[in-house]
Amino acid sequence: MGQTFGERIAEMMDAHFVGREFELEYFRQWLANLEERNERILNLFGSTGMGKTYLLGRYARISEELGAVYLSVDIRDAMGRPERLLESLIEQSEEDDRTEDPLLVKCHRLLNGLAEKRRVVLAFDGYEEIGALDHWVRTVFLPGLHENTLVLISGRFPLEGPWKHAPAWKKLIVRLPLQALDYEDIRSYLRRWGIEEETAADSVWLRTLGHPLALSLLTPLPAESPRAAFPPEDKPSGEPLQALLDGWLKEAPSDELRRLLFAASSVHAFHQELLSHVLGEEVPPTRFQSLTDLSFVVRTAAGWQLQELVRETLQRQFRERMPDTSDAYRNRAAEYYKSKLEEGLSSGKDVLREFAEWLRYADNAVLRAHYRHARESRNYTEPLTEENLGEAKEYVRRRLREEKPSKVLCSDPVSGESFRFELGAELGRARLALVPLEELMAAGADSIRLLRSPTGRIVGLFAVIPVCGRTYDWLARAPVSRAYIASLTAEESKRIRESKEDTGIRYVYAMDLAHLEREELRSDLIHALLDPILAGHLLVESPPPHDYFRLGKLSLGFEPLPGAEHSDYGGELAPTYVLDTRREKLRRLLDRLNRGANETPAAIGADEAAPVSSPELTLRERDVAGWLMKGLTNAEIASRLYISEAAVKKHVNSMLSKYGLRNRTELANYFHHNINGGASS
């Protein structure tokens, strides 16, 4: 006998299900060991299209595999009536009960009879539509269930009110928020559609930010070419994502609330005071509450945030429809964070969070691209001590043994510039192999810190060494740092060697992450650098020679130190970079990093190279063309624009193709005579 339509559909859904390994295994272990846990309610929540119903379908399969009974009710079908919910469960129980007892009594008897024989999983989907029926479910229905029952409550919002505040309910509930899929999930999904190219995965990742429904909407129909469904990010097909945004905005029908949403999309995290500043008027508490009640608004340590894809889709629409207002909102947000930053620096307050938020408005694409993908991190650091030294050594051995190639992908939401860095395994090993833990620990308290995950596992290692009399001799002979010491003048060397107090100089000896591709770990790394920057130090660092590190240093204001190059990593010469933020130099750095939320690097250097104004070119191609006309090499242009040489080459080739020219000389001459030159003649 052949398959039914239902069996075929289930098989195809399984074949294209990716990610959610943690959520699946968590449920499996909980159900398998239900009697060992006190909790009986799993609250699954996430914004529209995050895959909640899809995941419940997988939970049903797992329940069947483990011999449990799985019953489900879509709350929307109950239409606010308890009897409809009860009738659905009684029908699914497949038990023959012809008594005249009330529906509630009959339902409890049937469900509890099943639970006495085997575990029962009871799933409520679409719980955001529960309305007044919530009180009945909580006070009448659930209390009568057998303890061998696991209840799944799925909806756009987490359970609130009495669910959260009553001690008894708090002990029964585990909350499981659904996050976006990661890059490898995207790769796996596309492979199942026969698409192997990394460029396609890059495009889909940057366009969907891992949102499951957005990914599904971009899926090609059988008759379509799969590659046609996934165009590059700079040529997006906006209809699927616009349809998704329209679905979200149904929760915010009023013009006032949508205006608040546009303002909220201009910032990463917000609160009532910030939105009032961005809008230029006071936001009443009731309107702010209406905003934070939306399903795609989540509370974080930094404040409230729009779900990533919602924020970016709104932001893009806002820029297209109201560019001047969008610019004004971004500029006000940058002004707000700058004022908080200056206020904190003057009073000696910790302004690390304000600095990190303000860098989202920096005038270079690398920083904006990095912070576009920055994730909240629950990791924490601790100093290296005798007690954890053995664990730290094992971390280094494991990293050297298991290091794999990694790829970092990000893009600037303002210019659309993409950055793709591939780092070989030998690059990570080369730096970590030169980290002598015991010697670094002797450099002083807090010189080397371990980064731990919430479970306590070491996932990173940061070594920032004070350069002073106590550490001078070691730094002078240690690989990597010795190049910096050798570059000092005799007077500078003598002053440091004889110093008894803090010189204000810090050598960044190691910045290692177990998984460079993980966005929250990269956020931890940048924060580890922001701390000494804000503390007002002269920072010195010599990372391996690679565009990822070079652009990262340049974007934060570091400058190459002539005469301090070395080959301690093996192969290509590695430069040494310095950044001085002592005294008034910190404020000069802040001014240099952010000269206006909407200026591009080319616009800032307009007195040196006027960008070409041809409408046929993208924003970044115009920037490259401006410097090309000045005769700069690809490497020099890359340095000016904070992009890789490969990116410059790509833009040059694109312009050659557009104008049918053979080389960069012909291209520069074309711009001189036909565009800029022609405009001035």
What's the confidence (pLDDT) of residue 148?
Answer: 94
d(CA 308, CA 290): 19
Q: How confident is the model at residue 521 (pLDDT cuts 50, 70, 90)?
A: confident
The whole-chain average pLDDT of the chain stands at 83
pTM of the model: 0.68
What number of H helices and E strands is found in the chain?
A: 35, 16
Q: How confident is the model at residue 129 (pLDDT cuts 50, 70, 90)?
A: confident
595 has pLDDT over 60 = no
Q: How confident is the model at residue 596 (pLDDT cuts 50, 70, 90)?
A: very low
628 has pLDDT over 90 = no
d(CA 59, CA 150): 12
436 has pLDDT over 80 = yes
pLDDT in tens, 485-516: 999 999 999 999 999 888 999 999 999 999 88
- Helix boundaries (H) for 137-252: 162-165, 167-172, 183-191, 198-208, 212-217, 239-249
Residue 514 φ/ψ, nearest 5 degrees: -65, -30
What's the confidence (pLDDT) of residue 615?
Answer: 63
What's the confidence (pLDDT) of residue 261?
Answer: 92
What's the confidence (pLDDT) of residue 341?
Answer: 87
598 has pLDDT over 50 = no
Q: Which two tokens stand for residue 116?
A: 């006495």
What's the confidence (pLDDT) of residue 222?
Answer: 44
What's the confidence (pLDDT) of residue 319?
Answer: 85
pLDDT in tens, 256-293: 998 999 999 998 889 999 999 999 999 999 999 999 98
**DSSP for residue 673:** I
Tell me which of 621 and 328 has the higher pLDDT: 328
Reported for 101-104, long-range contacts at CB under 8 A and 24+ positions apart, including other chains, are: 104/140, 104/141, 104/144
Q: How many residues does the chain have?
A: 681
d(CA 593, CA 361): 9
Q: How confident is the model at residue 2 (pLDDT cuts 50, 70, 90)?
A: low
Tell me which of 412 and 613 has the higher pLDDT: 412
Q: How confident is the model at residue 42 (pLDDT cuts 50, 70, 90)?
A: very high
Q: Distance from CA of residue 504 to its chain's centroid?
A: 33
Q: Out of 155-164, 353-362, 592-601, 620-629, which region has the weakest mean confidence (pLDDT)?
A: 592-601
What are the angstrom distances between the C-alpha of 26 and each of 30, 32, 159?
6, 10, 19
Q: Out of 13-17, 47-51, 463-467, 495-499, which region has the weakest mean confidence (pLDDT)?
A: 13-17
d(CA 230, CA 203): 7
What burial letters (b/e) apply to 549-580, b meaning 16+ CB within 10 Å?
A: bbbbbbbbbbeebeebbbebbeeeebbbbbbb
What's the confidence (pLDDT) of residue 613?
Answer: 59
Domains of the chain, earliest start first = 5-177 (3.40.50.300), 183-237 (no CATH), 245-361 (no CATH), 380-593 (3.40.630.30), 601-680 (1.10.10.10)
pLDDT in tens, 192-250: 777 788 777 787 777 777 777 777 666 554 444 444 444 444 444 455 666 667 777 78
18 has pLDDT over 50 = yes
pLDDT in tens, 527-581: 888 889 988 999 999 999 998 898 889 888 899 999 999 999 988 899 999 999 9
The most confident of 109-113, 187-191, 444-448, by mean pLDDT? 109-113
Q: How confident is the model at residue 6 (pLDDT cuts 50, 70, 90)?
A: low
User: Mean per-residue pLDDT for 576-603?
Assistant: 72
pLDDT in tens, 303-333: 888 877 788 888 888 888 888 998 899 889 9
Collect all residues with Cβ–Cβ distance below 8 Å to 421 and sequence separation of at least 6. Answer: 407, 408, 409, 546, 547, 548, 644
User: Mean per-residue pLDDT for 375-399?
Assistant: 90
48 has pLDDT over 80 = no
What's the confidence (pLDDT) of residue 679?
Answer: 38
Q: With H, G, I as helix, E, B as strand and everything else as coil, classify residue 509.
A: strand
User: Mean per-residue pLDDT for 574-599?
Assistant: 78
Q: How confident is the model at residue 600 (pLDDT cuts 50, 70, 90)?
A: very low
End-to-end CA distance of the chain: 81
The most confident of 93-102, 193-202, 589-598, 662-671, by mean pLDDT? 662-671
What's the confidence (pLDDT) of residue 223?
Answer: 42
Tell me which of 108 and 638 has the higher pLDDT: 108
